[in-house]
Amino acid sequence: MPDLTSRGGERLRIVLAEDAPLLRAGIVTVLESDGHHVCAAVESADELRDAARAHDPDVVVTDVRMPPTHTDEGIRVAVDLRRTTPGLPVVILSQYTTVGSLDQLLDRTAATGRGGLGYLLKDRVAHVRHFLDAVRDIAAGATIIDPEIVVALVGASRRRGVLAALTPREEEVLGLMAQGLTNPQIAQRLVVSEAAVRKHVGGIFAKLPLSDDGDRRVLAVLTYLNES
């Protein structure tokens, strides 16, 4: 049995959209086991839009593909919601590494200078604790993009545009930042000191055209993802 023990912290008000009834019920159970309140659990894009406006949630968790077209309705609704409520935390769940309208969501996030954005593959959130931690971190403003989505977004264009100014190591560090890793975690992954990671992060901040407004770490990650 998975460990459903809450790690504590703020009780979040959540609106969930997932068209598969069993999966929807399972996600509700998992979220509420962590002390959260699921204000609404819906199955379509239109219901998601209405529920988010009615309940003013702390975070929205949504599937990508929902009725009526089963393409990228979840992302498109998220774009609309973040347009009307800038910075509204959104967790996107997907069965596939499709990116669809994700670039619009990233553009909207970059325009506000706020994080609170996650794109997680469903097979990676089968680990309950990982999923719950991600929801809490994204609700608190973190930007967490699944590594496979990063690859799909960036692809062969990783070295184009403003990223060309970065060294290979700086780009590697920025890629790990895009996966939601902290400086100590990056240091452990690359087998280097935290001081070395801080130096690379400083180089990234200095070389990328980042606004003085907002979290520079979030803005750097969004710049990286938008270079697709």
What are 80-120's pLDDT values in tens digits? Answer: 898 888 889 999 998 876 655 666 666 666 656 566 888 88
| C-alpha angle 195-200-201 in degrees, rounded to nearest 5 | 95
Interaxial angle between packed helices 102-112 and 73-84, expressed in degrees from 0 to 180 and rounded to the nearest 10: 20
* pLDDT tens profile 39-78: 999 999 999 999 999 999 999 999 988 887 787 888 889 8
Query: What's the mean per-residue pLDDT of the chain?
Result: 83
**DSSP per residue, 4-52:** ---------EEEEE-SSHHHHHHHHHHHHHTT-EEEEEESSHHHHHHHH
Identify the residue whose tokens are 């690359």. Answer: 190
CA–CA gap between residue 104 and residue 87 (Å, rounded): 14
Residue 228 DSSP code: -
Give the pLDDT of residue 209: 78
List phi, psi (to 5°) of 137: -65, -40
Domains with residue ranges and CATH for the chain: 13-145 (3.40.50.2300), 152-226 (1.10.10.10)
Query: What is the mean predicted confidence (pLDDT) over 126-146?
Result: 88
Give the pLDDT of residue 17: 97
Query: To which H or E segment does residue 84 belong?
Result: helix 73-84
